[in-house]
Amino acid sequence: MATPKLYMDSIQSCYLKEFNAEIVNIENNTIELNQTLFYPMGGGQDWDQGKIKFNDKEINVLEVRGRDKISHLVDQTHNLEIGQKIEAHIDWDRRYRHMKMHTAQHLVSAVAYELFDGVRTVGNQLRYDKSRIDFNPINFDDEMLSSLVNETNELIKKGAKLDIKIMTRDEINEIMPPERTNMNLIPPNVEELRVVIIGDNLDLCPCAGTHVQNISEIGGIEFLKKKSKGKGTQRFSYTLK
């Protein structure tokens, strides 16, 4: 059975920091809960960490994986049992950085698409200290890099709200060109998609990650480096200001 993901309900639910749950399965030091707020590694975004509390004990959640069924890797000596009710807290500093890094990625990808002839985002990795986006086709020079960063930071400064909607493929394609939303990567049998919308369709992107409520919360991005990955792909690395 798929694990209900408490951070998925709305943009606001990305701000929940603790929850109650019950242990439904244990395999060595990997546990499953009847619901979770822990984001599993996926969509380029790193996993959440945090703590699980029960019977005056406290154990660490070290790694979280899975797509439907979510597995939480915890300390070896956990003493947990199936049916145990627990209280869990996510490491908010880590998660909030991921939310900012991730929302920044949507923005940078949108700005690059507009500035550089519909360049596509072909990969990303969103981490605590630095993140990266792979673009294709592109050949960044200094001027392009500074306009990408400046334009992104201008938008962040102005601010714009994020919203989450469930939309059909046709509804999405009416608003955004399918090559911008990477619709070809979504299996054809998926009819309805969870879409993250920035401002008044400043960006619209099917996504299951965690995001901030307003892009102003990102604060700003700083360019770190570029790297060629061959075949017209270049990697843009950034961090938060």
* Binding residues for Zn ion (CB under 5 A): 207, 209
Query: Smaller CB distance to Zn ion: residue 204 or 207?
Result: 207
Query: Smaller CB distance to Zn ion: residue 38 or 39?
Result: 39
Residue nearest Zn ion, CB atom distance: 207
Query: Smaller CB distance to Zn ion: residue 50 or 209?
Result: 209
Query: Smaller CB distance to Zn ion: residue 23 or 176?
Result: 176
Task: Work out how close the CB of 140 gets to Zn ion at its nearest, in angstroms, rounded to a whole number.
Answer: 23
Query: Smaller CB distance to Zn ion: residue 54 or 96?
Result: 96
Task: Work out how close the CB of 95 gets to Zn ion at its nearest, in angstroms, rounded to a whole number.
Answer: 14
Task: Work out how close the CB of 205 gets to Zn ion at its nearest, in angstroms, rounded to a whole number.
Answer: 6
The rounded distance, in Å, linking the Cα atoms of 70 and 35 is 9
Task: Work out how close the CB of 102 gets to Zn ion at its nearest, in angstroms, rounded to a whole number.
Answer: 5
The closest of 138, 116, 100, 113 to 205, measured between CA atoms, is 113
Task: Work out how close the CB of 209 gets to Zn ion at its nearest, in angstroms, rounded to a whole number.
Answer: 4
The CA R_g of the chain, rounded to the nearest whole Å, is: 19
The rounded distance, in Å, linking the Cα atoms of 41 and 67 is 9
The rounded distance, in Å, linking the Cα atoms of 194 and 211 is 13
